[in-house]
Structure 1
């Protein structure tokens, strides 16, 4: 009898908003220590992400987005959340479909969680008839930049932004989908 963990993806629902917020905050707290103010990461990010995900999951236009939660199933234990992805069609964007969130929790990085979530986002975009995806990554987030570049994403520009009360630079990457 095997007890190896299996990675599964499931659609998120409104009931998952607190889980999405908790994973998002934990990912930012682990990843952005050197990029965002400690006060924001330690005391504000949890409430800010909770409000964000509640509003996002309640917002109209659900048919334009896909939110998936990655879970590790290791019987006999219950499924353990390992990450999530949110991808959304942007009809007015010249860049294609926005891969808005891709987070593998720190304990599960390097296990293929992010790659599997990204592949699901790419498949969804193809099924929507789209030709390209884009995402933003914080300048200075070297591990994420390296991950995206290994997956075939290409740098296409940068934009000023604001996050956690500070000015940041968001690097835009694009991924051209294979002909559909």
Structure 2
């Protein structure tokens, strides 16, 4: 029997939890891609600052965050930004916690993203993934996402490339 993953809307009270999950996810997924000094020393504070700001957007209605839970335990989260002028919704973050991957958490969150975006009249979802993050790329491609663009980026004090992936909703 597949474990049941449920989603709940995050509130400002979840800011520290989201920042912590984001930090743990990046520290695991980006090990060997981003500098260890960044992942081990600078990341937590940076993610706390990021989520303190992003949750103000959520409170203002410009974005939504959903926390995925398995048996009441937070196992991931997704952040969705309201559609832009082209009818595209940014999947700003999608993270399944290390040790809880493979439960279907990512798929449940992507299904919610599509439902949420369609309810707002969006035509597509898009996101960025680091070019070296083969696991994430494989996950998205196996679910019908396609790479639309490669762009220079700067993360963790180094130059990297990000890939823009898109998923049509029609």
The TM-score, its normalising length taken from structure 2, stands at: 0.94
**CA distance in structure 1 between the partners assigned to 2:127 and 2:151 by the alignment:** 12
Q: Please tell me whether the aligned partners of residues 12 and 59 of structure 2 are also in contact (alpha carbons under 8 angstroms).
A: no
Pairing 1:111–2:96 present: no
Give 3-state SS (helix, strand or coil) of 1:108's partner: coil
**Structure 1 residue runs without a partner (length 5+):** 74-78
- CA drift at 1:58: 1.8
Give 3-state SS (helix, strand or coil) of 2:103's partner: coil
> Match of 2:62?
64
Q: Please tell me whether the aligned partners of residues 5 and 104 of structure 2 are also in contact (alpha carbons under 8 angstroms).
A: no
Pairing 1:10–2:2 present: no
**Structure 2 residue runs without a partner (length 5+):** none
Choose which of 87, 92, 97 in structure 2 pairs with 1:100.
Answer: 92
> Match of 2:35?
37
CA RMSD of aligned residues (A): 1.6
Q: How many residues are paired up? A: 169
Q: Please tell me whether the aligned partners of residues 87 and 121 of structure 2 are also in contact (alpha carbons under 8 angstroms).
A: no
The TM-score, its normalising length taken from structure 1, stands at: 0.89
Query: Deviations for 1:58-105, whole angstroms, at most 9, x for unmatched residues?
Result: 2377423220000111xxxxx21100000112424x471101100000
> Match of 1:171?
163
**CA distance in structure 1 between the partners assigned to 2:107 and 2:60 by the alignment:** 23
**CA distance in structure 1 between the partners assigned to 2:58 and 2:132 by the alignment:** 33
> Match of 2:48?
50
- CA drift at 1:173: 0.6
> Match of 1:81?
74
